Structure 1
Amino acid sequence: MTPDDLWRALSDPAQDLALTLALLLPAVVLAALALRGQAPWPLARALLLRFRWTNLLFVGLMALSVGLGGALLSQERALRQAAARAADPFDVIVAAPGDEVRVLLATVYLQPAAALPLLGADALRAIQADPRVSLAAPVAFGDSHDGAPVVGTTTAFLDRLAGPPTEGRPWRSASEALAGAHAAVTLGETIVPAHGHGDAAEPEAHTGAGLTVVGRLPETGGPWDRAILVPIETLWALHGLASGHAPQEGERLGPPFDPDYFPGAPAFVLSGERLADAYAIRARHDREGAMAFFPGATLARLHAVLGDVREAMSLMAVLTQALAAAGVLAGLVALARLFARRFALLRAMGAPRRFVLGVVWLYAACLLGAGCLAGLALGWASAGLVSAAVSARMDMAIRASLGWPEIQLAACAFSAASVLALAPALAAYRRAPVEDLRAG
């Protein structure tokens, strides 16, 4: 078995552990050399206790840089995971030809956008004629209530998205609505949607069209948690359009829709029973006059385009740790000069040069190691606080936690800094004891 075969045979946690230990290897080797045949630890411990406040400052500086880097990287990873979770219920999206990213942001993440072209009766006929489609849900948006988007769709899609209501009941008429898990409305409240979003909203556009909130959906962890969901027929009626059903059918909600009375929808969410069905659905409906795409694939391409952001954040984290380590080492060089007379006395009493080298390096390594460990603890604590703030801002449940990448970054920082810590140790190693004793 080759080393590559052995590496592939290891599980992911075992690979991460092996990589972390490999990153720590330089520090472990230096520690073994510093302690070999000597006993520098009692003197190094005395230095740690004697200058405890200065040492705490050095440890805090290193901890801040490691914690900041870990929090940034874990937050970026958590944001990508939350975005992917939000797109999971949307197997295939069909919309009018145009920008996939724009449709993705409007449909999955409910970001306000300029009016999207509508898919009409021809698209509906093609979708309803496809035997592989097990779920075909039109989605309409563009209205809001107190800043929360009002989205029209079908109960079948809401069951797939979140499941049955945890409070109240599903809607039974076009005058009823469901609230997302975090929507700022109460059961029994009557709302009047405004046309548009934000400053451009027109509160008087739908005067008299009161909707009663009759249920609340479970939490999905995505932007739909803050939305108010209504039958798509309700949105069509608010804008003076046909209901999607023949007049003789009376008030009817949900599919099947009649193409002759179908006013159009910005997007359809389609699903199949099997994965192969999803690929066939996408291929069949990605045609002239329509655009079909996998939200996950579009999101992956978007992440690839934004990959430079992660690289920039990683570089910033490394540079921050390098600057912190440089500051700590510069301070240790200054302290080594203050310790020069003490080391000179040790040398005069017969201590070898390598003993002085071991004391200074071990002292520096302890400070750097404590800083890295404290940084991981700080990053773990701050990740939760930052996640709460970003979740409120992005309307997604973002749960950041430190993982192997952050541990490996801290291990790499410690090993690199421990190697650089040889600089103050070598400075003390090369000093002539006679000169230091005379200077004292």
Structure 2
Amino acid sequence: MHVTMLLKSELRRSAGVILGMALVLALALSLALATSLTERMLRASSAAATDDFDLLVGAKGSSASLLLGTVYLRDEPLGLVPAPALSSLINAKGVRWAAPVAFGDRTGDSPLVGTTRAMATLGGERPLSAGRVFAAPDEAVAGAGSGLKVGDAFTPMHGRAAGAGHAHEAASFRVVGVMPATGTPWDRAVLVPIERIWSMHAHEDDHAHGREPLEHWMEEDLTHLPGMSAVVVKPVSVADAYRLRQRFSTMSVTSPEGAVVNLMGVFSGEVLVDLYASMGSAARALSFITALTLAVALAATLITGVLLGRLRLPTLLQLRVLGAPRRYVGALIWLIVMTVVVTGAAGGLLIGWAIASGCAAWLADETGIVMAPALSRAEALPILLTLAAGALCALVPAWAAGRAKMT
């Protein structure tokens, strides 16, 4: 009788035990795979979100808060950058475009961002997917994921957190354009002229601003303007980027109240590297724990193989009586254990992918960053190691079964 025929019979008889051990192994392996997939997915997606934010200028403080508040639109405590800093940026050599951003309001669950037309079109390099850029103080450009479309009207709320703040009763906006989907938190944002944000919070006459051309203030004295949360800068070249960062990291600007505000320039990529370093330490600790879990699961598989050999000892001895060599009996037990290992490895890949996909959906909902897991050689390594370790472990119960003595 060929060994595969007997293997099928044994698999049917021990299906419950084999599937149970395969599930334990699959769950252990899935943790390692899900950790690897999620970490790489998070790194790639968060890095892609900074593509349009090469250089950020803000009030001196936490560079991480500046990044999280500006690029990922998190509710971070950002100091105000006095408006005169913007005139220095706009006129600086090596600046392709620069745009102020002011936070603090929302419409529904979407953050309201006061800015200029340069931010909506990335300095004219990105066309809108629908409509046009705002041309009046009461017009807005909505993100692709904000739920707003051209022609919609809304009244903003003060405060960035949903369920908090109060409505700006005298302020209303009409959507005239929609930005293309970017897969970043800015898909949820709604962009409006920054001068309207200033007037809303200063309680000035909005109609007075409507009589002036939009962004006329950029060519005037800015010392009387309130300021902004940060300035997004697109340098012409890498050399310009380093020169501008150095310049604005040593600059001080006086606010309308007379306070001296020190500025800082940060590269989004450099801040992410620091954040990744912290995240990497946690990921290594989790990988160590999952490796131990996987080792325990393999040990359990080994024990299962030994026990199956003992339970099937009468059958194995009968095969020996009928003339089956030791290698035949050993091969049968080895194949049974490897069936558990291969099934567990395949199940671990599927469960790990499902966990990573669930994490991607949850993170996208929480952060606004579109994510999707992608398999690579990094995931092939733990699977191959599991199969190799399983093949070696299976030799132990196979050798024990082959050495069983006939009485």
Shorter-chain-normalised TM-score: which range?
Answer: 0.7 to 0.9
Cα displacement (A) at 1:255: 7.5
**SS of match in other structure, 1:314:** helix
Aligned to 2:259: none
Q: 2:306 aligns with which of 333, 341, 351?
A: 333
Amino acid at match of 1:54: V
1:253 aligns with 2:215: yes
**SS of match in other structure, 2:365:** helix
Aligned to 1:30: none
Q: Distance in 2 between matches of 1:399 and 1:103?
A: 26
Q: 2:32 aligns with which of 65, 69, 73?
A: 69
Q: Distance in 2 between matches of 1:62 and 1:386?
A: 21
TM-score (norm 1): 0.82
Amino acid at match of 2:32: G
Instruction: Summarize the alignment of residues 11-410 of structure 1 with structure 2, pairs less than 5 Å apart.
Output: 40-114=3-77, 116-160=78-122, 163-198=126-161, 201-204=164-167, 206-240=168-202, 250-253=212-215, 256-258=218-220, 259-288=222-251, 289-410=262-383
Q: Distance in 2 between matches of 1:207 and 1:142?
A: 16
Q: Distance in 1 between matches of 2:156 and 2:219?
A: 24
Preserved CA contact (<8 Å) 1:138 1:269: yes
Preserved CA contact (<8 Å) 1:143 1:196: yes
Cα displacement (A) at 1:273: 1.9
Cα displacement (A) at 1:254: 7.1
**SS of match in other structure, 1:421:** helix
Cα displacement (A) at 1:397: 0.2
**SS of match in other structure, 1:230:** strand
Q: Percentage identity across aligned positions?
A: 35
Q: Distance in 2 between matches of 1:102 and 1:324?
A: 42
Residues 134 and 254 of structure 1, relative CA distance in 2, 3 Å threshold: farther
Amino acid at match of 1:135: W
Cα displacement (A) at 1:311: 0.8
Cα displacement (A) at 1:211: 0.8
Q: Distance in 2 between matches of 1:211 and 1:45?
A: 71
Residues 41 and 97 of structure 1, relative CA distance in 2, 3 Å threshold: same
Cα displacement (A) at 1:52: 3.3
Amino acid at match of 1:353: R
Q: Distance in 1 between matches of 2:373 and 2:217?
A: 40
Residues 273 and 254 of structure 1, relative CA distance in 2, 3 Å threshold: farther
Cα displacement (A) at 1:428: 1.8
Question: What is the total number of aligned residue pairs between the two structures?
Answer: 393
Preserved CA contact (<8 Å) 2:55 2:235: no
**SS of match in other structure, 2:122:** helix
Q: Distance in 1 between matches of 2:345 and 2:338?
A: 10
Cα displacement (A) at 1:277: 1.7
**SS of match in other structure, 1:112:** coil
Cα displacement (A) at 1:164: 2.4
Preserved CA contact (<8 Å) 1:90 1:295: yes
Residues 387 and 189 of structure 1, relative CA distance in 2, 3 Å threshold: same
Aligned to 1:25: none
Q: Distance in 2 between matches of 1:217 and 1:128?
A: 24
Amino acid at match of 1:404: R
**SS of match in other structure, 1:371:** helix
Amino acid at match of 2:64: V
Preserved CA contact (<8 Å) 1:69 1:320: no
Aligned to 1:19: none
Query: More helix per residue: 1 or 2?
Result: 1
Unaligned runs of 5+ in 1: 1-37, 435-440
Residues 199 and 390 of structure 1, relative CA distance in 2, 3 Å threshold: closer
Aligned to 2:391: 418
Q: Distance in 1 between matches of 2:216 and 2:4?
A: 76
Residues 119 and 226 of structure 1, relative CA distance in 2, 3 Å threshold: same
Cα displacement (A) at 1:321: 2.4
Q: Which moved more, 1:358-367 or 1:98-107?
A: 358-367
Q: Distance in 1 between matches of 2:215 and 2:247?
A: 27
Q: Distance in 2 between matches of 1:421 and 1:360?
A: 8
**SS of match in other structure, 1:271:** strand
Residues 127 and 240 of structure 1, relative CA distance in 2, 3 Å threshold: same
Q: Distance in 1 between matches of 2:217 and 2:334?
A: 74
Preserved CA contact (<8 Å) 1:173 1:253: no
TM-score (norm 2): 0.88
Preserved CA contact (<8 Å) 1:119 1:265: yes
Cα displacement (A) at 1:49: 4.1
Unaligned runs of 5+ in 2: 252-261
Preserved CA contact (<8 Å) 1:121 1:260: yes
Preserved CA contact (<8 Å) 2:120 2:141: no
Moved >4 Å (runs of 4+)? 38-42, 246-249
Residues 306 and 248 of structure 1, relative CA distance in 2, 3 Å threshold: closer
Amino acid at match of 1:366: T
Question: Could you report, residue by residue, the CA deviation over 1:295-318 in whole angstroms, capped at 9, with x for unpaired residues?
Answer: 111011111122112112322332
**SS of match in other structure, 2:111:** strand
